[in-house]
Structure 1
Amino acid sequence: MEWINQLPVFLLIFVRILAFMATLPVFSYRNVPNTFKVAFALFFAYIIFFTVDVSGVGIDATYFLLIIKEALIGLLLGLIATMLFYAIQVAGAFMDLKMGFLVANVIDPQTGAQSPLTGGFLYAFAILLLLVTDGHHLLLDGIFYSFAYVPVEEVNFHFGRESVLETAVGAMSTMFVIAFQMSFPIVGALFLVDVALGMMSRAVPQMNVFVVGLPLKIFLGWPIMLFMLPAFLWLVSNLVDEMVITMRTLLQLFGGE
Protein backbone atom coordinates (compact mmCIF):
# COMPACT_ATOMS: atom_id res chain seq x y z
CA MET A 1 0.00 0.00 0.00
CA GLU A 2 2.96 2.31 -0.46
CA TRP A 3 1.27 3.89 -3.47
CA ILE A 4 -1.35 5.45 -1.17
CA ASN A 5 1.39 7.57 0.44
CA GLN A 6 2.42 8.84 -3.02
CA LEU A 7 -1.15 9.62 -4.11
CA PRO A 8 -1.13 13.25 -2.81
CA VAL A 9 1.95 14.01 -4.94
CA PHE A 10 0.33 12.46 -8.00
CA LEU A 11 -2.82 14.54 -7.48
CA LEU A 12 -0.76 17.73 -7.29
CA ILE A 13 0.97 16.90 -10.57
CA PHE A 14 -2.38 16.07 -12.13
CA VAL A 15 -3.91 19.40 -11.03
CA ARG A 16 -1.08 21.42 -12.59
CA ILE A 17 -1.27 19.57 -15.90
CA LEU A 18 -5.07 19.72 -16.06
CA ALA A 19 -5.07 23.47 -15.33
CA PHE A 20 -2.38 23.93 -17.97
CA MET A 21 -4.45 22.12 -20.59
CA ALA A 22 -7.55 24.11 -19.68
CA THR A 23 -6.01 27.28 -21.17
CA LEU A 24 -3.44 25.89 -23.64
CA PRO A 25 -3.96 26.37 -27.40
CA VAL A 26 -5.29 23.30 -29.25
CA PHE A 27 -5.89 21.27 -26.05
CA SER A 28 -8.37 23.73 -24.52
CA TYR A 29 -10.73 23.89 -27.51
CA ARG A 30 -14.35 22.84 -27.19
CA ASN A 31 -14.14 20.29 -30.00
CA VAL A 32 -11.59 18.33 -27.93
CA PRO A 33 -13.63 16.02 -25.64
CA ASN A 34 -13.29 16.59 -21.91
CA THR A 35 -12.76 12.87 -21.37
CA PHE A 36 -9.71 13.04 -23.62
CA LYS A 37 -8.35 16.05 -21.70
CA VAL A 38 -8.72 14.31 -18.34
CA ALA A 39 -7.35 11.01 -19.64
CA PHE A 40 -4.36 12.71 -21.28
CA ALA A 41 -3.66 14.71 -18.11
CA LEU A 42 -3.76 11.48 -16.08
CA PHE A 43 -1.41 9.73 -18.50
CA PHE A 44 1.00 12.67 -18.61
CA ALA A 45 0.92 13.01 -14.81
CA TYR A 46 1.69 9.30 -14.51
CA ILE A 47 4.80 9.77 -16.67
CA ILE A 48 5.99 12.85 -14.78
CA PHE A 49 5.31 11.21 -11.42
CA PHE A 50 8.30 8.89 -11.83
CA THR A 51 10.63 11.82 -12.60
CA VAL A 52 9.68 13.85 -9.51
CA ASP A 53 11.43 12.92 -6.28
CA VAL A 54 9.09 14.16 -3.56
CA SER A 55 8.51 12.73 -0.12
CA GLY A 56 6.73 13.92 2.96
CA VAL A 57 3.69 15.46 1.25
CA GLY A 58 0.55 14.57 3.16
CA ILE A 59 -3.06 15.65 3.13
CA ASP A 60 -3.25 18.40 5.74
CA ALA A 61 -4.09 22.12 5.87
CA THR A 62 -1.04 22.97 3.75
CA TYR A 63 -2.05 20.48 1.09
CA PHE A 64 -5.04 22.57 0.00
CA LEU A 65 -2.73 25.55 -0.45
CA LEU A 66 -0.53 23.37 -2.64
CA ILE A 67 -3.54 22.49 -4.80
CA ILE A 68 -4.34 26.19 -5.28
CA LYS A 69 -0.69 26.90 -6.12
CA GLU A 70 -0.54 24.11 -8.70
CA ALA A 71 -3.78 25.28 -10.33
CA LEU A 72 -2.49 28.87 -10.51
CA ILE A 73 0.80 27.85 -12.10
CA GLY A 74 -0.90 25.70 -14.73
CA LEU A 75 -3.47 28.37 -15.58
CA LEU A 76 -0.88 31.14 -15.81
CA LEU A 77 1.44 29.16 -18.07
CA GLY A 78 -1.37 28.17 -20.41
CA LEU A 79 -2.80 31.70 -20.39
CA ILE A 80 0.50 33.33 -21.36
CA ALA A 81 0.90 30.86 -24.24
CA THR A 82 -2.68 31.45 -25.41
CA MET A 83 -2.28 35.23 -25.17
CA LEU A 84 0.76 35.15 -27.44
CA PHE A 85 -0.90 32.81 -29.92
CA TYR A 86 -3.89 35.12 -30.22
CA ALA A 87 -1.63 37.59 -32.02
CA ILE A 88 -2.93 35.86 -35.15
CA GLN A 89 -6.51 36.80 -34.31
CA VAL A 90 -5.43 40.40 -33.63
CA ALA A 91 -3.63 40.49 -36.99
CA GLY A 92 -6.78 39.17 -38.67
CA ALA A 93 -8.83 41.92 -37.01
CA PHE A 94 -6.41 44.54 -38.36
CA MET A 95 -6.75 43.08 -41.87
CA ASP A 96 -10.54 42.87 -41.65
CA LEU A 97 -10.70 46.48 -40.54
CA LYS A 98 -9.09 47.57 -43.81
CA MET A 99 -10.80 45.01 -46.06
CA GLY A 100 -14.28 45.66 -44.70
CA PHE A 101 -14.82 42.23 -43.14
CA LEU A 102 -14.83 43.42 -39.54
CA VAL A 103 -18.63 43.82 -39.55
CA ALA A 104 -18.99 40.09 -40.33
CA ASN A 105 -17.47 38.42 -37.29
CA VAL A 106 -18.40 34.77 -36.82
CA ILE A 107 -18.56 32.51 -33.78
CA ASP A 108 -15.45 30.40 -33.46
CA PRO A 109 -16.62 26.85 -32.61
CA GLN A 110 -13.28 26.10 -30.95
CA THR A 111 -13.45 28.85 -28.33
CA GLY A 112 -17.09 29.98 -28.46
CA ALA A 113 -16.03 33.63 -28.92
CA GLN A 114 -16.47 35.98 -31.87
CA SER A 115 -13.63 35.75 -34.35
CA PRO A 116 -12.76 37.86 -37.40
CA LEU A 117 -13.06 36.08 -40.74
CA THR A 118 -9.46 36.59 -41.80
CA GLY A 119 -8.24 35.84 -38.28
CA GLY A 120 -10.01 32.49 -38.27
CA PHE A 121 -8.59 31.67 -41.71
CA LEU A 122 -5.01 32.45 -40.67
CA TYR A 123 -5.49 30.86 -37.26
CA ALA A 124 -6.33 27.54 -38.94
CA PHE A 125 -3.07 27.74 -40.89
CA ALA A 126 -1.16 28.52 -37.69
CA ILE A 127 -2.69 25.57 -35.83
CA LEU A 128 -1.78 23.21 -38.66
CA LEU A 129 1.78 24.56 -38.70
CA LEU A 130 2.00 24.16 -34.93
CA LEU A 131 0.95 20.51 -35.16
CA VAL A 132 3.05 19.65 -38.21
CA THR A 133 6.24 21.12 -36.73
CA ASP A 134 5.62 19.48 -33.31
CA GLY A 135 5.19 22.85 -31.65
CA HIS A 136 2.66 21.32 -29.26
CA HIS A 137 5.46 19.06 -28.03
CA LEU A 138 7.42 22.17 -27.05
CA LEU A 139 4.44 23.38 -25.01
CA LEU A 140 4.15 20.02 -23.25
CA ASP A 141 7.90 20.11 -22.71
CA GLY A 142 7.41 23.40 -20.86
CA ILE A 143 4.95 21.91 -18.37
CA PHE A 144 7.26 18.89 -17.97
CA TYR A 145 10.24 21.03 -16.91
CA SER A 146 8.04 23.30 -14.79
CA PHE A 147 8.36 20.78 -11.94
CA ALA A 148 12.13 21.36 -11.92
CA TYR A 149 11.71 25.14 -11.61
CA VAL A 150 8.74 25.13 -9.21
CA PRO A 151 8.79 21.98 -7.05
CA VAL A 152 5.51 20.41 -6.02
CA GLU A 153 6.19 20.42 -2.28
CA GLU A 154 6.91 24.17 -1.99
CA VAL A 155 3.91 26.23 -0.91
CA ASN A 156 5.41 29.62 -1.72
CA PHE A 157 6.19 30.72 -5.24
CA HIS A 158 7.23 34.20 -6.32
CA PHE A 159 4.03 35.32 -7.99
CA GLY A 160 4.01 38.92 -6.80
CA ARG A 161 7.46 39.88 -8.06
CA GLU A 162 7.77 42.95 -10.23
CA SER A 163 9.68 40.98 -12.86
CA VAL A 164 6.68 38.65 -13.31
CA LEU A 165 4.47 41.62 -14.20
CA GLU A 166 7.14 42.99 -16.52
CA THR A 167 7.34 39.63 -18.29
CA ALA A 168 3.56 39.49 -18.73
CA VAL A 169 3.44 43.06 -20.08
CA GLY A 170 6.37 42.29 -22.37
CA ALA A 171 4.54 39.23 -23.71
CA MET A 172 1.47 41.33 -24.44
CA SER A 173 3.51 43.98 -26.24
CA THR A 174 5.26 41.23 -28.23
CA MET A 175 1.84 39.90 -29.24
CA PHE A 176 0.85 43.28 -30.69
CA VAL A 177 4.21 43.71 -32.43
CA ILE A 178 3.92 40.31 -34.14
CA ALA A 179 0.28 41.03 -35.02
CA PHE A 180 1.33 44.30 -36.63
CA GLN A 181 4.09 42.53 -38.57
CA MET A 182 1.61 39.94 -39.84
CA SER A 183 -0.97 42.49 -40.93
CA PHE A 184 1.36 45.23 -42.22
CA PRO A 185 1.51 44.08 -45.90
CA ILE A 186 -2.27 44.19 -46.29
CA VAL A 187 -2.83 47.21 -44.06
CA GLY A 188 -0.09 49.18 -45.83
CA ALA A 189 -1.26 48.23 -49.33
CA LEU A 190 -4.90 49.03 -48.59
CA PHE A 191 -3.88 52.33 -47.03
CA LEU A 192 -2.38 53.26 -50.40
CA VAL A 193 -5.67 52.20 -52.01
CA ASP A 194 -7.53 54.56 -49.66
CA VAL A 195 -5.19 57.38 -50.67
CA ALA A 196 -5.78 56.64 -54.36
CA LEU A 197 -9.55 56.51 -53.87
CA GLY A 198 -9.43 59.82 -52.03
CA MET A 199 -7.56 61.43 -54.89
CA MET A 200 -10.03 59.95 -57.40
CA SER A 201 -12.99 61.25 -55.42
CA ARG A 202 -11.52 64.75 -55.62
CA ALA A 203 -10.85 64.41 -59.34
CA VAL A 204 -14.18 62.72 -60.17
CA PRO A 205 -16.79 63.85 -57.61
CA GLN A 206 -19.54 61.89 -59.40
CA MET A 207 -17.90 58.56 -58.52
CA ASN A 208 -19.24 56.82 -55.41
CA VAL A 209 -16.04 55.92 -53.54
CA PHE A 210 -17.77 53.68 -51.02
CA VAL A 211 -19.38 51.51 -53.70
CA VAL A 212 -16.13 51.17 -55.63
CA GLY A 213 -13.76 50.96 -52.66
CA LEU A 214 -15.21 47.96 -50.82
CA PRO A 215 -15.00 45.37 -53.64
CA LEU A 216 -11.68 46.84 -54.75
CA LYS A 217 -10.14 46.31 -51.32
CA ILE A 218 -11.40 42.73 -51.20
CA PHE A 219 -10.16 42.08 -54.73
CA LEU A 220 -6.67 43.36 -53.83
CA GLY A 221 -6.56 42.07 -50.25
CA TRP A 222 -6.86 38.33 -50.94
CA PRO A 223 -4.01 38.11 -53.51
CA ILE A 224 -1.76 40.08 -51.16
CA MET A 225 -2.66 37.67 -48.37
CA LEU A 226 -1.71 34.68 -50.53
CA PHE A 227 1.62 36.26 -51.39
CA MET A 228 2.37 36.95 -47.72
CA LEU A 229 1.63 33.39 -46.51
CA PRO A 230 5.32 32.30 -46.51
CA ALA A 231 6.25 35.31 -44.38
CA PHE A 232 3.21 34.63 -42.19
CA LEU A 233 4.31 31.06 -41.52
CA TRP A 234 7.80 32.32 -40.67
CA LEU A 235 6.29 34.75 -38.16
CA VAL A 236 4.22 31.93 -36.65
CA SER A 237 7.40 29.91 -36.07
CA ASN A 238 8.92 32.92 -34.33
CA LEU A 239 5.73 33.24 -32.30
CA VAL A 240 6.01 29.64 -31.08
CA ASP A 241 9.65 30.24 -30.08
CA GLU A 242 8.56 33.35 -28.19
CA MET A 243 5.86 31.35 -26.39
CA VAL A 244 8.42 28.78 -25.20
CA ILE A 245 10.89 31.46 -24.08
CA THR A 246 8.21 33.39 -22.18
CA MET A 247 6.97 30.25 -20.43
CA ARG A 248 10.50 29.34 -19.38
CA THR A 249 11.15 32.87 -18.13
CA LEU A 250 7.98 32.81 -16.04
CA LEU A 251 8.93 29.46 -14.53
CA GLN A 252 12.36 30.78 -13.59
CA LEU A 253 10.75 33.80 -11.93
CA PHE A 254 8.21 31.64 -10.11
CA GLY A 255 11.07 29.50 -8.85
CA GLY A 256 12.91 32.53 -7.47
CA GLU A 257 15.75 32.59 -10.00
Structure 2
Amino acid sequence: MDVINSLPAFLLIFVRLIAFMATIPVFSYRNVPSYFKIGLSFFFALIVLLTIDVPDISLDGSYFLLIIKEVMVGLLLGLIASMLFYAIQVAGAFIDLKIGFLVANVIDPQTGAQSPLTGGFLYAFAILFLLASNGHHLLLDGMFYSFSYVPIEVSSINITTSSVMETAVEAFVTMFLIAFLMSFPIVGSLFLVDVALGMMSRAVPQMNVFVVGLPLKIIIGLPIMMITMPAFFYLLRNLTEEMAIAMRTMMQLFGGA
Protein backbone atom coordinates (compact mmCIF):
# COMPACT_ATOMS: atom_id res chain seq x y z
CA MET A 1 0.00 0.00 0.00
CA ASP A 2 1.33 3.43 -0.93
CA VAL A 3 1.62 5.30 2.35
CA ILE A 4 1.59 8.78 0.82
CA ASN A 5 -1.49 8.15 -1.32
CA SER A 6 -3.40 6.53 1.57
CA LEU A 7 -2.65 9.36 4.02
CA PRO A 8 -5.75 11.47 3.07
CA ALA A 9 -8.01 8.45 3.57
CA PHE A 10 -6.35 7.65 6.89
CA LEU A 11 -6.93 11.19 8.14
CA LEU A 12 -10.62 11.00 7.24
CA ILE A 13 -10.99 7.69 9.10
CA PHE A 14 -9.11 9.14 12.07
CA VAL A 15 -11.36 12.23 12.17
CA ARG A 16 -14.53 10.10 12.22
CA LEU A 17 -13.17 7.94 15.04
CA ILE A 18 -12.07 10.95 17.10
CA ALA A 19 -15.55 12.49 16.78
CA PHE A 20 -17.12 9.16 17.73
CA MET A 21 -14.88 8.75 20.78
CA ALA A 22 -15.85 12.25 21.93
CA THR A 23 -19.54 11.38 22.31
CA ILE A 24 -20.11 7.66 22.98
CA PRO A 25 -20.58 6.29 26.53
CA VAL A 26 -17.52 5.12 28.50
CA PHE A 27 -14.91 6.45 26.04
CA SER A 28 -16.09 10.09 26.13
CA TYR A 29 -15.87 10.56 29.90
CA ARG A 30 -13.60 13.20 31.37
CA ASN A 31 -11.73 10.73 33.57
CA VAL A 32 -10.58 8.84 30.45
CA PRO A 33 -7.25 10.46 29.42
CA SER A 34 -7.27 12.34 26.14
CA TYR A 35 -4.08 10.67 24.95
CA PHE A 36 -5.82 7.29 25.42
CA LYS A 37 -8.72 8.39 23.20
CA ILE A 38 -6.35 9.74 20.55
CA GLY A 39 -4.12 6.66 20.68
CA LEU A 40 -7.05 4.24 20.48
CA SER A 41 -8.52 6.18 17.57
CA PHE A 42 -5.14 6.17 15.82
CA PHE A 43 -4.61 2.41 16.05
CA PHE A 44 -8.26 1.71 15.26
CA ALA A 45 -7.92 3.92 12.17
CA LEU A 46 -4.89 1.88 11.09
CA ILE A 47 -6.92 -1.33 11.41
CA VAL A 48 -9.79 0.14 9.39
CA LEU A 49 -7.37 1.45 6.76
CA LEU A 50 -5.84 -2.00 6.30
CA THR A 51 -9.28 -3.65 6.15
CA ILE A 52 -11.40 -1.56 3.81
CA ASP A 53 -10.83 -0.76 0.15
CA VAL A 54 -9.00 2.55 0.30
CA PRO A 55 -10.18 4.95 -2.43
CA ASP A 56 -7.97 7.53 -4.10
CA ILE A 57 -8.70 10.85 -2.44
CA SER A 58 -7.02 14.04 -3.58
CA LEU A 59 -6.21 16.99 -1.35
CA ASP A 60 -8.33 19.66 -3.01
CA GLY A 61 -11.18 21.95 -2.01
CA SER A 62 -13.66 19.09 -1.59
CA TYR A 63 -11.39 17.46 0.99
CA PHE A 64 -12.53 19.97 3.62
CA LEU A 65 -16.14 18.97 2.92
CA LEU A 66 -15.17 15.36 3.51
CA ILE A 67 -13.62 16.31 6.87
CA ILE A 68 -16.81 18.11 7.94
CA LYS A 69 -18.88 15.11 6.82
CA GLU A 70 -16.74 12.70 8.82
CA VAL A 71 -17.05 14.85 11.95
CA MET A 72 -20.84 14.96 11.57
CA VAL A 73 -21.11 11.19 11.06
CA GLY A 74 -18.99 10.43 14.12
CA LEU A 75 -20.79 12.92 16.35
CA LEU A 76 -24.29 11.89 15.27
CA LEU A 77 -23.66 8.18 15.76
CA GLY A 78 -22.15 8.81 19.18
CA LEU A 79 -25.02 11.07 20.20
CA ILE A 80 -27.59 8.43 19.20
CA ALA A 81 -25.82 5.86 21.40
CA SER A 82 -25.45 8.30 24.30
CA MET A 83 -29.06 9.46 24.08
CA LEU A 84 -30.35 5.93 24.58
CA PHE A 85 -27.87 5.16 27.33
CA TYR A 86 -28.83 8.28 29.28
CA ALA A 87 -32.28 6.78 29.79
CA ILE A 88 -30.79 5.52 33.06
CA GLN A 89 -30.21 9.09 34.23
CA VAL A 90 -33.81 9.96 33.33
CA ALA A 91 -35.06 6.93 35.28
CA GLY A 92 -32.98 8.05 38.25
CA ALA A 93 -34.51 11.53 38.03
CA PHE A 94 -38.02 10.01 38.07
CA ILE A 95 -37.14 7.98 41.17
CA ASP A 96 -35.48 10.92 42.94
CA LEU A 97 -38.53 13.08 42.26
CA LYS A 98 -40.76 10.67 44.17
CA ILE A 99 -38.35 9.52 46.88
CA GLY A 100 -37.20 13.04 47.76
CA PHE A 101 -33.58 12.88 46.59
CA LEU A 102 -34.00 15.36 43.75
CA VAL A 103 -32.80 18.23 45.97
CA ALA A 104 -29.45 16.44 46.42
CA ASN A 105 -28.07 16.46 42.88
CA VAL A 106 -24.36 15.75 42.68
CA ILE A 107 -21.67 16.58 40.13
CA ASP A 108 -20.93 13.60 37.94
CA PRO A 109 -17.11 13.41 37.61
CA GLN A 110 -17.46 11.53 34.31
CA THR A 111 -19.39 14.22 32.47
CA GLY A 112 -18.94 17.28 34.69
CA ALA A 113 -22.72 17.90 34.77
CA GLN A 114 -25.25 17.64 37.58
CA SER A 115 -26.60 14.13 37.99
CA PRO A 116 -29.52 12.74 40.05
CA LEU A 117 -28.36 10.82 43.11
CA THR A 118 -30.18 7.61 42.19
CA GLY A 119 -29.36 8.14 38.52
CA GLY A 120 -25.65 8.17 39.28
CA PHE A 121 -26.03 5.00 41.36
CA LEU A 122 -27.87 3.15 38.60
CA TYR A 123 -25.58 4.58 35.93
CA ALA A 124 -22.53 3.08 37.67
CA PHE A 125 -24.18 -0.36 37.52
CA ALA A 126 -25.06 0.25 33.87
CA ILE A 127 -21.44 1.04 32.98
CA LEU A 128 -20.23 -2.11 34.75
CA PHE A 129 -22.89 -4.17 32.97
CA LEU A 130 -21.93 -2.65 29.61
CA LEU A 131 -18.27 -3.54 30.13
CA ALA A 132 -19.01 -7.01 31.54
CA SER A 133 -21.29 -7.91 28.61
CA ASN A 134 -18.82 -6.54 26.02
CA GLY A 135 -21.23 -3.79 25.06
CA HIS A 136 -18.29 -1.50 24.31
CA HIS A 137 -17.24 -4.02 21.67
CA LEU A 138 -20.64 -3.52 20.04
CA LEU A 139 -20.01 0.22 19.90
CA LEU A 140 -16.62 -0.22 18.27
CA ASP A 141 -18.04 -2.87 15.93
CA GLY A 142 -20.79 -0.48 14.85
CA MET A 143 -18.22 2.22 14.20
CA PHE A 144 -16.16 -0.19 12.10
CA TYR A 145 -19.11 -1.14 9.88
CA SER A 146 -20.11 2.50 9.49
CA PHE A 147 -17.40 2.77 6.83
CA SER A 148 -19.30 0.20 4.77
CA TYR A 149 -22.58 2.13 4.98
CA VAL A 150 -21.08 5.63 4.70
CA PRO A 151 -17.90 5.50 2.58
CA ILE A 152 -15.25 8.09 3.29
CA GLU A 153 -15.09 9.28 -0.35
CA VAL A 154 -18.76 10.37 -0.37
CA SER A 155 -19.03 14.07 0.45
CA SER A 156 -22.71 14.15 1.50
CA ILE A 157 -24.99 12.20 3.81
CA ASN A 158 -28.77 11.92 3.95
CA ILE A 159 -29.28 13.86 7.17
CA THR A 160 -32.39 15.87 6.32
CA THR A 161 -34.60 13.06 5.08
CA SER A 162 -37.80 12.15 6.88
CA SER A 163 -36.49 8.65 7.66
CA VAL A 164 -33.53 10.06 9.59
CA MET A 165 -35.80 12.39 11.56
CA GLU A 166 -38.22 9.55 12.33
CA THR A 167 -35.37 7.32 13.52
CA ALA A 168 -34.03 10.06 15.80
CA VAL A 169 -37.49 10.72 17.26
CA GLU A 170 -38.05 6.99 17.71
CA ALA A 171 -34.77 6.69 19.62
CA PHE A 172 -35.80 9.65 21.81
CA VAL A 173 -39.18 8.05 22.54
CA THR A 174 -37.51 4.70 23.27
CA MET A 175 -35.24 6.41 25.78
CA PHE A 176 -38.20 7.78 27.77
CA LEU A 177 -40.10 4.50 27.49
CA ILE A 178 -37.22 2.46 28.92
CA ALA A 179 -36.67 5.11 31.60
CA PHE A 180 -40.32 4.88 32.58
CA LEU A 181 -40.19 1.07 32.72
CA MET A 182 -37.06 1.20 34.88
CA SER A 183 -38.56 3.61 37.37
CA PHE A 184 -42.19 2.42 37.33
CA PRO A 185 -42.01 -0.12 40.23
CA ILE A 186 -40.51 2.44 42.60
CA VAL A 187 -42.53 5.42 41.36
CA GLY A 188 -45.77 3.40 41.47
CA SER A 189 -45.08 2.16 45.00
CA LEU A 190 -44.26 5.65 46.25
CA PHE A 191 -47.43 6.96 44.62
CA LEU A 192 -49.39 4.55 46.80
CA VAL A 193 -47.44 5.87 49.81
CA ASP A 194 -48.50 9.41 48.86
CA VAL A 195 -52.12 8.26 48.66
CA ALA A 196 -51.86 6.63 52.10
CA LEU A 197 -50.28 9.76 53.58
CA GLY A 198 -53.04 11.89 52.08
CA MET A 199 -55.69 9.69 53.68
CA MET A 200 -53.86 9.83 57.03
CA SER A 201 -53.63 13.63 56.87
CA ARG A 202 -57.39 13.80 56.40
CA ALA A 203 -58.03 11.33 59.22
CA VAL A 204 -55.46 12.86 61.60
CA PRO A 205 -55.06 16.58 60.79
CA GLN A 206 -52.61 17.05 63.69
CA MET A 207 -50.02 14.80 62.02
CA ASN A 208 -47.28 16.58 60.05
CA VAL A 209 -47.31 14.64 56.77
CA PHE A 210 -44.15 16.30 55.43
CA VAL A 211 -42.09 15.24 58.46
CA VAL A 212 -43.38 11.65 58.34
CA GLY A 213 -43.50 11.27 54.57
CA LEU A 214 -39.84 11.89 53.68
CA PRO A 215 -38.24 9.20 55.87
CA LEU A 216 -41.13 6.83 55.11
CA LYS A 217 -40.51 7.13 51.36
CA ILE A 218 -36.80 6.47 51.85
CA ILE A 219 -37.48 3.43 54.05
CA ILE A 220 -39.89 1.99 51.47
CA GLY A 221 -38.17 3.14 48.29
CA LEU A 222 -34.65 1.79 48.88
CA PRO A 223 -35.70 -1.84 49.59
CA ILE A 224 -37.99 -1.79 46.55
CA MET A 225 -35.06 -0.55 44.46
CA MET A 226 -32.94 -3.48 45.63
CA ILE A 227 -35.74 -5.98 44.93
CA THR A 228 -36.27 -4.67 41.39
CA MET A 229 -32.56 -4.70 40.42
CA PRO A 230 -32.91 -7.95 38.36
CA ALA A 231 -35.61 -6.28 36.26
CA PHE A 232 -33.32 -3.26 35.88
CA PHE A 233 -30.55 -5.42 34.38
CA TYR A 234 -33.07 -7.10 32.07
CA LEU A 235 -34.16 -3.70 30.75
CA LEU A 236 -30.52 -2.68 30.54
CA ARG A 237 -29.82 -5.61 28.23
CA ASN A 238 -32.71 -4.51 26.01
CA LEU A 239 -31.34 -0.97 26.11
CA THR A 240 -27.95 -2.17 24.84
CA GLU A 241 -29.63 -4.02 21.98
CA GLU A 242 -31.75 -0.99 21.09
CA MET A 243 -28.62 1.16 21.09
CA ALA A 244 -26.90 -1.15 18.58
CA ILE A 245 -30.02 -1.32 16.38
CA ALA A 246 -30.43 2.48 16.40
CA MET A 247 -26.80 3.00 15.37
CA ARG A 248 -27.07 0.45 12.53
CA THR A 249 -30.33 1.96 11.28
CA MET A 250 -28.91 5.47 11.37
CA MET A 251 -25.81 4.38 9.43
CA GLN A 252 -27.97 2.77 6.76
CA LEU A 253 -30.03 5.93 6.41
CA PHE A 254 -26.94 8.13 6.24
CA GLY A 255 -25.64 5.99 3.40
CA GLY A 256 -28.97 6.11 1.56
CA ALA A 257 -29.74 2.41 2.04
CA distance in structure 2 between the aligned counterparts of 1:156 and 1:119, rounded to whole angstroms: 38
Match for residue 197 of structure 2? 197
Aligned to 1:175: 175
Task: Determine the C-alpha separation between the residues in 1 that align with 2:120 and 2:229.
Answer: 14
Q: Could you tell me which residue of structure 1 aligns to residue 47 of structure 2?
A: 47
Percent of aligned positions with the same letter in both sequences? 72
* Residues 190 and 221 in structure 1, CA contact (< 8 A), matched pair in contact too: yes
**What secondary structure is seen at the aligned counterpart in 1 of 2:226?**
helix
Secondary structure of 2:155 counterpart: coil
Distance across 2 between alignment mates of 1:45 and 1:54:
12
Q: Aligned with 1:46: secondary structure?
A: helix
Q: Deviations over 1:117-145 (max 9, x none)?
A: 00000000000000000000001000000
1:11 aligns with 2:21: no
Instruction: Give the conservation status (yes or no) of the 8 Å contact 1:150–1:254.
Output: yes
Hey, what does 2:25 align to over in structure 1?
25
Secondary structure, aligned partner of 1:50? helix
Q: Is the 8 A contact 1:15 1:71 kept in 2?
A: yes
Question: Does the alignment pair 1:103 with 2:115?
Answer: no
**CA shift for structure 1 position 54:** 2.3
Q: What 5-or-longer segments of structure 2 have no aligned partner?
A: none
Shift of 1:55: 2.5
Q: Tell me the equivalent position of 1:185.
A: 185
Contact 1:89–1:120, Cα closer than 8 Å, also in 2:
yes
Letter in 2 for 1:15: V
Where do 1:50-69 residues align within 5 Å?
50-69=50-69
Question: What's the counterpart of residue 86 of structure 1?
Answer: 86
Retained in 2: the 8 A contact 1:20–1:75? yes
Question: Which residue does 2:73 correspond to in 1?
Answer: 73
Q: Distance in 2 between matches of 1:232 and 1:200?
A: 32
Amino acid in the other structure paired with 1:169 = V
Q: Which moved more, 1:86-95 or 1:50-59?
A: 50-59
TM norm structure 1: 0.99
2:22 and 2:109 mapped to 1: Cα distance? 16
| 1:48-77 Cα deviation digits (max 9, x unpaired) | 101121222011101110000000000000
Q: Distance in 2 between matches of 1:121 and 1:28?
A: 19
* Counterpart AA for 1:191: F
Query: Which residues of 2 match residues 222-233 of structure 1 at below 5 A?
Result: 222-233=222-233
Q: Deviations over 1:201-242 (max 9, x none)?
A: 011111000000000000000000000100000101100000
- Kindly indicate whether the alpha-carbon contact (under 8 Å) linking 1:54 and 1:153 is maintained by their aligned counterparts in 2: no
The aligned counterpart of 1:133 is 133
User: What's the counterpart of residue 161 of structure 2?
Assistant: 161
Contact 1:10 1:49 in 2 (8 A): yes
Q: For residues 213 and 231 of structure 1, what CA distance do their matches in structure 2 show?
A: 27
**Alpha-carbon separation, structure 2, partners of 1:228 and 1:67:** 46
Corresponding residue SS for 1:49: helix
CA distance in 1 between partners of 2:30 and 2:54 (Å): 34
What one-letter code is carried by the residue in structure 1 that aligns with 2:187?
Answer: V
Unaligned runs of 5+ in 1: none
TM-score normalised by the chain length of structure 2? 0.99
Quick check: 1:158–1:255 contact (8 Å CA) kept in 2?
yes
Deviation, structure 1 residue 2 = 2.5
Query: Which residue of structure 2 aligns with residue 243 of structure 1?
Result: 243
Distance 1:36 1:55 in 2: 28
- Please give the root-mean-square deviation of Cα atoms over the aligned residues, in Å: 0.8
Aligned residues: 257
